[in-house]
Structure 1
C-alpha cells in the first residue's frame, strides 16, 4: 500500500508537528466603536485569543489577534471584515478580562526572572499600563485560581473594582475538614505554603484531579484606584466559592458554592457535585438563592441586571449529565425553568444541555440566551427565548461540523467552528430580532484549511440481544473518518478510537489524533456508545450498572457496522484483519475489555491511564462516588466497601479478562494521575508480563490523567503509530 512508505518515525513526528500546530480559539471580546462610526456602517473591534502547540520546545503558546468588523446600515446582517492585525504573543497571563466598555483590560500575570512565581494584577488602558498590584507582596491570600472550575476575573459595572478567586490563608492548627474563609486580618494567619512547625505534616484536602493546588478558595476584590485587595467575608463555612460575578449595582456578588463537607470529591469534569447559587453583599451578609440539594454552575447575569440564568443538575449518579437552565428573577425573587432535561430527543431536534455557558451569552435585549450543546455526533449553537422557552438551533450544519460560542456582545456572535476534515477558525454573525433566529447569516474569519478526509456518520441500532430492557429503543452514533487521497479499492487498516468519561463524546470537530492517523493512511472509527452525551438523559442513565457489557457491545457493534458498510462511496475497503483499538480512561477500560472479550479480533491496543480493576481503584480515585454509581450501586459519604460491591466491581473490570488477552498492549501512564491511579495500568502490565503477552509501558512521571503536556502528547502519538505499525506488520 502506497501510504506505508510515509510511516517512518521522522515523517510521523513531522506530520504530527504540522497538524498539532493549528491554533485553537479560546476566547473572544467585542466592543462597539461608536465614536468610529463610518458613513456606511458601525465599527466593531473583535479581539480573539488563541492557543497553539509548539512541539519543538514542548510549549503551548498563547496569543491575541484583532479584527475590525463593520456592520452595514442598509442591511444589518451584512458584515464587512477588515484584514486582521498581526498576532501578538501573550506572556505569563493566567487570567485576563476586558471591562464592559472595552476601555480597560485586567491581567493576572505570573512572572519569571527576578520575581519568579510571584503574581501581579495589571490594569491596562488603550494606551498604557494604568495600574499594577503586587498580589504576592500584599499577602492577603495565596495563589489566584486560573482554572475554569472556580476561576473568574470580573469587572464591576463602574469599572473600578475586580472580583476574583484565590487560595485562602490557613490559620495555625486549623483542620482542613473545618477550613473556611479566615479573616484576612487574623494575626495567626500565614501565607499558603508556610505552615507552622507543628502543622508541617498536616494533611490538607484538595479538589482532586486537575485541581490539586485548590483547597480553600476565597472571594477577593481589588480596588483599582487604591491598589488594595480585600478578602470578602460571609461565605458560609461549609462551601467553597467560585464562578463569581458582580450584581448590576456593584453592591453584592453572586457565586457558586460547592459543599466540602464531610470531605471533598474530585470536581473537574464532574457536574454532579452538591452546590448552590449564593448572593453575598459587601457587608458580609450571604443568602442562598437556589435550592441546596442540586448541582449548580455557570451563573450569567442579563445586560439589564434583572435576570440570572444558571445550569442545574442532579447530585451523584452520572458525573456528566443533561442539565436544566434555570432563571432567577432578581426583582420578583423567583426561579423558573427555561430549558428542561431532554430524556429521549428526536434525531434532528435539540438533545439537551450538556456544557458550561460562555461568560457572555445574553442577547442585548435581555430576553434570549445563546449557548452551545451536544446534539448526537455534533456540537450545535442554540438560542432560548426566556419568554416563550422556545429553543432554536442557529448553527448551519452545511458549513461546519462543530460550533462553540465564545461570546455574544452587541448581538454580535463569535463562534469557534471546525470539522473532522477542517482545522479550527472563527465565524461571526449578528443575532436577528426575536422570532427571526432562523435567518442567521454566518461569515467566517480566515481561510478554510481542509485536510482531505471523508467523514461518514453512522447511526447504529443495537440488536435485540443487545437492547437494555429498562431503556429500550435507544440508538447511538459513530464517525468513520477516511482519507480521500488513497487509490480506489485500497485495503485500509482501521483504528477504533474510544472516548473516555464515559459520559462525554466525540464531536464532528477537529481532532489532531484522528487527522494525522487518517493522513498516514488509517481509517478511524470514533464511537459514541450509549451513555455518551448528546443523545438524551435516558442514554446516559442506561449505562449505570452496565459498564463492561453494554458499552463494550456498542463499540463492537459499531466496528462490525463500519466493516459491513465499508463507506458510502465504496472507494476503499476497511481491512477486517487489520483492526486496532485505542482509548483513554474509560476509553482505555473499554479497549482492554474488547481485547479480552474478543481476543482474536484486535491486532493491537494502545491505552492512556485505563481503568483496569474497579475494585482496587475504589480507594485511590478522587471520584470514589462514581466507582459505585458506574456499577449500579448507590453512594453515600459514609459508604464502606462490602464483599458484594467489590465482587461486582471486579466482575465488570477488564482485569477479569486478562488471561484471554492476545493483543499486544501499549500502556501510557501519568505518574501524577489522581483520577485513575497509574497502578491500574501497572496491574495489567504485570498480569500480561506474567503470561508472556507483548506489552510496553510508557511512564510520564510529571503528567496527570490527561497526559496534556505538549511533549508528552507528541511522544504518545509517535509511540502509538509505531506500535500499530509493528503489530499490523505494515513495514
Structure 2
C-alpha cells in the first residue's frame, strides 16, 4: 500500500503560459528505478468548469524553467547526463516553438541552484536578460595560491552540502538577423559589499523598473566562520541587499553563443535591512502611485529557529504585518522561507495590489490575502471545513487568479485554480484543474480515513490532529478502539498539518489511529506560543504530549495499554520520543526514532550548533546580529560547551533516563545527516544495548536528516510497521 501512496505525483510548481493555459510540474517517486522523477503537464482552461489537460511529460533534464511576465519567452536551465562525469549544462531561451538562445555553460560554472532557499531565476523587465544562480567551479592551484583547491569553504548545511560558492549569472541577448538566433552574452557578478568576510547572494530578482538594479538576499557568516544551516531555519544572519549592475554594451562583447566563459562584472551592493533581523525573499511590485515597492519577510535574528514572520515594505518604509500573538481572527504570519515567484495580485478597481501566500494557521496551511495599503487587512481565503484541507500557493497570473494545491489526510494532492471577485477581493471561487488518477480500491481506501482536530484540556491552545483508520462495520462502541501511534513533530518550531502524507496514510490504512500533537513552541498559534518553549525543552513539550495522550485515553479514542500504544518521532520528535519512554516507562509498547536528538551537549557535527544553546535557553550569539557590521572581537561572541553548559544540556536530555526504559526502541540513522550528527543515534543505541534494553538500529547510507530518499522512505515504513506489529501481535 505504501508504494502506491508514495508514488502519487506531488505538484511542485505552476506557471501561466498564456491567459488560458497553465503548466504544472510534479515530483514523483519511482521505486523501480529508485529515484524521484520530474514530470510536467499542461492544462487549458476552455470553460469555467471543464479544464482540458495533457498527459505527463518527463522533464528530468530540466532543472528550472520560467515564462517571462509578458508570456512571450520561456527560459530553461537544462542539465543532461546528471550525476555523471559527462553532465552538460545549457541555458535556453524559447520564443514559442523557436529556440532563440542556447548557451552551453558546462565549463562556465558547476550545477544550477534549484533549492527553495538560495536559488533564483528571473527575467529583466524588458525581457532582454535572464538572471539565475549557479555554483562556481572549485578553485584550482594557481600562481598566487598553490593550496587553493584544498582550502576549507563552508557550505549551506543540511540538505545543501554542495552549495558553497553561489554566484549570480546574467544572460543577455540581442537580435541579429530576424531569421537567425539571438546573440547571447553571459556575465558573472562579482559583488563588492565592503565587508571583511564574504557575503553569499541568492534569491535574486530584477527591479521592475530598471534592468541594472537587482535585489537579493545576502547570507553572512557567523563570527566563527560558519555558514549556519539555513534549511528550516528562519533566524540566520541574512538580509536584503540592493545590487547595482553596469553590464558592458553589446558592441563591446565578443563572446557570443559559443563562448565557454563568462565575463566577470564588478558590482556594488548596499544592505537595506537591519542586522538584528533575518530578512529574506525580496519581491517587487508597482504600487498605486506607479512606483516600485519592495516587499520582504523577516524573523528576529537568533532565538527560535522558526517564529512569526514580519512583512515589510520599502516605499515608504513600513511594517505591514508585525509579529503578533494569536487572536480569534489571525494567529500571525507563518509564511514559507521563500514567497512564490509570482505572489502579487492586482486589479484596476483596487486601491492597491495584494499579496497572497500560504501560511500556517493552527494545524493547517491556509491561503492568506494581504492588502498592501492602509488599513492593512489579512483574510483567510480558505476557511475551515469538515475536510480539514491544507492549501499551499504555487503561483498567480498577477491579476486576480492563482494556482494552489490542497490536500488532506484522506485526499491526495489536488490542484485548484482560484479566482478572486474584483468587486469583493476577499471572495474566491475554486476550480479543480488536476487530481491524481488512482486505482479504484486505493481511492476508496484513502477516502475512508477521517480526520479531527482536538484541543488538549489544560494545555490550550495545544491541539492534536487525529487521523482515524477505516471504520470496521463489525465493531460496536463497546469494542476496544484501534491501536494508536503518537507522532510528535520535529523542530521543535515546525507544525504538524493536515496535508496528505503517504507514510501517515499507510499507517492509518494498516489499522492505526494517528495522533499528531502540536505542542508549545509550534508555529501557527501566535508568537508567545512559539517562544514559550525556549528553555523548557524536555519538560513543557513532553508534558503537552503526555497530556494529549491521556486525553485520548479518557475519551476512549485510544486504550491505555502498551500493546496498543506506540511512538514515532524524528529529530526533535525523536528527542520527545526518547523523553516519553524514559519519563513514562510502561506507557508505550514500542518506539521508533528517526535521527533523534538525544544528547543536548553533543553539538559537534551539526550544521546548527546554535540550536542547542537557543532552544535550551543558553543563547549562542554566533547566530545573532549584528554579525559582520559589528566588531565581535571577544571570545564571548562564540559560545562553547563548557562543563557548566554541558551539565545544563545533559539535564535536559533524554539519555539520563536510559536505565529506566522498558520500551523496545528502533532507531533510524542517516549516515549523511548534517543536522543531527549520526553519532547521537548510534550513541543512544549503544547506551540502550549496554543497559540490556531491546534495541535495533537501521543505518541508511548517504541519507540526510529527513531520510527522504525513495528506498529509505519505503524501508522505513516497512520497518515501522514490522516493529509495531511484533508488539501488537504479542511477539
TM-score (norm 2): 0.86
Q: Which shows bigger deviation, 453-462 or 670-679?
A: 453-462
User: How much has 1:520 moved relative to structure 2?
Assistant: 0.6
Q: Distance in 1 between matches of 2:166 and 2:404?
A: 31
**Contact 1:480–1:562 (8 Å) recurs in 2:** no
2:500 maps to 1:510: yes
Q: Distance in 1 between matches of 2:184 and 2:388?
A: 46
Counterpart selection for 1:217 from 147, 157, 166: 166
> What residue number does 2:256 align with?
none
For residue 268 of structure 1, give the secondary structure of its aligned residue in structure 2. Answer: coil
2:595 maps to 1:609: yes
Counterpart selection for 2:357 from 366, 371, 380: 371
Pairs within 5 Å for 1:316-715: 316-329=302-315, 334-343=316-325, 345-347=326-328, 349-356=330-337, 357-365=339-347, 367-387=353-373, 388-398=375-385, 401-409=389-397, 410-433=399-422, 436-446=424-434, 450-462=446-458, 474-487=460-473, 488-489=475-476, 490-491=479-480, 492-567=482-557, 577-616=563-602, 618-637=603-622, 638-715=638-715
User: How much has 1:400 moved relative to structure 2?
Assistant: 5.0
**Contact 2:675–2:705 (8 Å) recurs in 1:** yes
Pairs within 5 Å for 1:250-269: 250-262=211-223, 263=225, 264-269=227-232
For residue 297 of structure 1, give the secondary structure of its aligned residue in structure 2. Answer: strand
**Contact 2:595–2:705 (8 Å) recurs in 1:** yes
> What residue number does 1:244 align with?
204
2:152 maps to 1:206: no
**Contact 1:320–1:354 (8 Å) recurs in 2:** no
Q: Distance in 1 between matches of 2:85 and 2:693?
A: 52
User: What whole-Å deviation, never above 9, does each CA across 1:390-420 have from its counterpart, x for those lacking one?
Assistant: 1111114226510111111132111100011
Q: Which shows bigger deviation, 480-489 or 144-153?
A: 480-489
Q: Which shows bigger deviation, 626-635 or 210-219?
A: 210-219
Q: Which shows bigger deviation, 52-61 or 663-672?
A: 52-61
For residue 615 of structure 1, give the secondary structure of its aligned residue in structure 2. Answer: coil
**Contact 1:45–1:68 (8 Å) recurs in 2:** yes
C-alpha spacing 1:102/1:188, structure 2 compared with 1 (3 Å): farther
User: How much has 1:169 moved relative to structure 2?
Assistant: 5.0
User: What whole-Å deviation, never above 9, does each CA across 1:496-523 have from its counterpart, x for those lacking one?
Assistant: 1121111001111101111111111111
2:185 maps to 1:228: yes
Q: Distance in 1 between matches of 2:615 and 2:276?
A: 21
User: How much has 1:634 moved relative to structure 2?
Assistant: 2.0
**Contact 1:666–1:695 (8 Å) recurs in 2:** yes
User: How much has 1:202 moved relative to structure 2?
Assistant: 2.5
> What residue number does 2:121 align with?
153
> What residue number does 1:270 align with?
233
User: What whole-Å deviation, never above 9, does each CA across 1:164-187 have from its counterpart, x for those lacking one?
Assistant: 1122356668xxxxxxxxxxxxx9
User: What whole-Å deviation, never above 9, does each CA across 1:447-478 have from its counterpart, x for those lacking one?
Assistant: 58553111121111336xxxxxxxxxx52111
User: How much has 1:246 moved relative to structure 2?
Assistant: 0.4
2:279 maps to 1:290: no
User: How much has 1:386 moved relative to structure 2?
Assistant: 1.2
Q: Distance in 1 between matches of 2:28 and 2:317?
A: 41
Q: Distance in 1 between matches of 2:22 and 2:396?
A: 11
Q: Distance in 2 between matches of 1:143 and 1:59?
A: 19
Q: Distance in 2 between matches of 1:717 and 1:389?
A: 45
User: How much has 1:70 moved relative to structure 2?
Assistant: 4.6
Q: Distance in 1 between matches of 2:85 and 2:607?
A: 34
Q: Distance in 2 between matches of 1:708 and 1:23?
A: 15
User: How much has 1:131 moved relative to structure 2?
Assistant: 2.1
For residue 190 of structure 2, give the secondary structure of its aligned residue in structure 1. Answer: coil
> What residue number does 2:37 align with?
61
TM-score (norm 1): 0.86
> What residue number does 1:183 align with?
none
Q: Distance in 1 between matches of 2:87 and 2:114?
A: 14
**Contact 1:384–1:392 (8 Å) recurs in 2:** yes
User: How much has 1:122 moved relative to structure 2?
Assistant: 1.9
Q: Distance in 2 between matches of 1:701 and 1:239?
A: 33
Q: Distance in 2 between matches of 1:228 and 1:91?
A: 26
C-alpha spacing 1:198/1:438, structure 2 compared with 1 (3 Å): closer
For residue 159 of structure 1, give the secondary structure of its aligned residue in structure 2. Answer: coil
Report the count of equivalent residues. Answer: 658
C-alpha spacing 1:64/1:598, structure 2 compared with 1 (3 Å): same
**Structure 2 unpaired stretches of 5+:** 174-181, 247-266, 437-442, 623-637
For residue 711 of structure 1, give the secondary structure of its aligned residue in structure 2. Answer: helix
CA RMSD of aligned residues (A): 2.2
User: How much has 1:144 moved relative to structure 2?
Assistant: 2.2
For residue 611 of structure 1, give the secondary structure of its aligned residue in structure 2. Answer: coil
**Structure 1 unpaired stretches of 5+:** 1-14, 34-43, 72-78, 174-186, 190-195, 464-473
User: How much has 1:669 moved relative to structure 2?
Assistant: 0.5
Q: Distance in 1 between matches of 2:11 and 2:372?
A: 29
**Contact 1:563–1:576 (8 Å) recurs in 2:** no
Counterpart selection for 1:86 from 31, 35, 55: 55
User: How much has 1:299 moved relative to structure 2?
Assistant: 1.0
For residue 697 of structure 1, give the secondary structure of its aligned residue in structure 2. Answer: strand
**Contact 1:31–1:45 (8 Å) recurs in 2:** yes
User: What whole-Å deviation, never above 9, does each CA across 1:368-398 have from its counterpart, x for those lacking one?
Assistant: 1111101111111111111121111111422
Q: Distance in 2 between matches of 1:518 and 1:682?
A: 29
Q: Distance in 1 between matches of 2:388 and 2:416?
A: 10
Q: Which shows bigger deviation, 306-315 or 90-99?
A: 90-99
> What residue number does 2:283 align with?
300
**Contact 1:394–1:437 (8 Å) recurs in 2:** no
Q: Distance in 2 between matches of 1:234 and 1:318?
A: 31
